[in-house]
Structure 1
Amino acid sequence: MGPDDFTPHRRRLLDVAYRILGTVSDAEDVVQEAWLRWSAVDRATVGNPQAFLVTVTTRLAIDRLRQVRARREAYPGSWLPELVSTQPDPQGRAELAESVELALLVVLETLSPLERAAFVLHEAFGLSYAEVGEVIGRSEAATRQLARRARDHVQEARPRFRADRAQRRRLTERFLAACFGGDLAGLVDLLAADVRLVSDGGGRAKAPLRVLHGADHVGRFLNAISNTEGAQRFLDSIGVPQTNDFGVAVEDVNAAPAIVIRVEEQVILVLSVEPADGDRIGTVFLVGNPEKLAWVSRSGEGAASTSA
């Protein structure tokens, strides 16, 4: 039995699994298990292959999320989702693109597995409450309650200001210039007074274990790691020898502009900013854990494609 009848659905299954799990590696494992189950099923009993596969994948993803929650709670410092390179959506599917934004995935981590699955399937993929209920094994009324609780929590936790892509890119470029231009005053001026810096080094890269708060504190930290000595200390922490082969660019990561830093083409750090308003930054996400960066350089692959 070949994979031909599974392959057309694989991208959508990865899309679903990544949004529920927040990691490509776990999403890939879940989809592989779904393929194994599909290989063993009698096709004559399956009226709608995509619905069947989405159901299997979602249930496997819920089970996997329950298993990994304990590890994430014991993670050294803040746990952030695994990042993925994305491209502007040529088909205009903005809702699907927004569902991989880093700030949203961080909020989804605070939901229960069932709430997260209900939110993803209904809000991102447009399944009706009845369809979502069939997938997660709950009544339509119970599913509606799960999705409403999830939606209310997401709306409460997400920033109220929603910048468009052009605004975010301009702000990211100004942030990049201030960081790497040594302009501490200009950098602090870009930050909201109550700005937060959330960093994920995974115990492998030099990064604060606790969330940093306040424009002065965050600005001084970013200024310190942007100079030559600070950059070398970071490279030392991940075992990269001293080098001048740095590449710094603004690229599309998780459907938003982000600063991507490479050494000899290896992505070593990603900085993503969340606007507090049109001119200032409310949150800075810093990801330096090498395990979270493997997919940033693999444009067009994996579970976060917005053109699936």
Structure 2
Amino acid sequence: MIRGYRRFSTRIVLRSHENPLGIPRNRTDGKPTIPRMQRGIPEKRKLPNVDKIVAVSSAKGGVGKSTVSANTAVALALQGKRVGLLDADIFGPSIPKLMNLQGEPRLSKNNRLIPLSNYGVKTMSMGYLVGEDAPVAWRGLMVMKALQQLIYEVEWDGLDYLVIDMPPGTGDTQLTLTQQLVIDGAIVVSTPQDIALIDAIKGINMFHKVHVPVLGLVQNMSMFVCPNCNHESHIFGSDGAIKEAKKQNIDVLGSIPLAEAICLNSDNGIPIVIADKTGTISKHYRDIAATVSKKLEEEN
């Protein structure tokens, strides 16, 4: 077993064993106090040494959210920003593959995890702490403990932007992140297909409820571009996400085609913004990063 993972996982188990219900033990009268999270929404706080946090969500799997997260983060780094990328999908981490990274994170002098870096982006993922083929068969409490460590026990060491690749859904993990962290903006990713838009709308409404500004919607896989003749086919429908964005009164950050170059380079661990820095396809991600950066700077 990986040494760092043993330490990481044991620490979670001990905390869970010592305090399985999250009840503080500092009372002297023997009566448990009610944790803050059970009394109401906890107070949000800033992440130390991180200026802006951007959440990338889809509320549905399989729409290319992680690819958008990785390319947007790298595109921000290419703008000269100090960028981190947090893979918050405990059960199905994709960032190690997309960023061509593997191995055990080292611990700093402060006993914090040191991010692995590539393409100018610092990254942290559960995928570094477990085997590639090993399932994370944990119940909710263990997942929350692991997520807390990935958020608060990482040595980010000063970032302009931390991009969080959110897991699918609108459950415990999403609420933990959005209710405890000051998230400066959210990007919602969807395909034009109605079945994907149903969940995207749920994600948008979740961000509204937890008071996280929605920066805009990215329409991914907007069309298929034939690599031979450049013919465009609207496999998942035409501009469904753009039409929905107008209904929701949010901006459209970009419309990215379903292109072979994105798929092949992602499988090889090379973001398209690196593989084809000046190409027309990578320009979609560069424009998204530029728009997000501008929006957040204007808000500031």
TM-score, length basis structure 2: 0.25
TM-score, length basis structure 1: 0.24
